[in-house]
A = this chain, B = another copy of it.
Amino acid sequence: MIYVGRKPTMSYVLAVITSLTRSNAKEVTLKARGQAITTAVNVAEITRRRFMKELKVKTIDIGTEEMPPREGESRTRNVSTIEITLRR
């Protein structure tokens, strides 16, 4: 599982490529929350269009996670998530 956050998109692309080529794994899953959802989709698209053309999107799941309140607030927040599994 690769957690996609605020690093540059290309560092996650590299993580996907490394994960698939180093370990002989057939699959890798990207997981992201909130604004990083767009980054996760970009990572999947850039990896399979530019670098590993045989890569397929196996599954995409979306969900919601309850997050603790921000400092100074009292209510939990709901944040959307995405999980994209790529298979070669």
Find the B residue at minimum CB distance from A41.
Answer: B80
How many A residues face the partner with a CB closer than 8 A?
A: 19
Oligomer copy total:
2
**A73 nearest CB across to chain B (Å):** 19
A16 surroundings in chain B (CB, below 8 A):
none
- Central interface residue in A57, A61, A78, A80, by most chain B CB within 10 Å: A80
Say yes or no for A14: interface residue by CB 8 A criterion: no
Say yes or no for A8: interface residue by CB 8 A criterion: no
Say yes or no for A13: interface residue by CB 8 A criterion: no
8 Å CB contacts to B: which residues of A24-49?
34-35, 37-38, 41-42, 44-45, 49
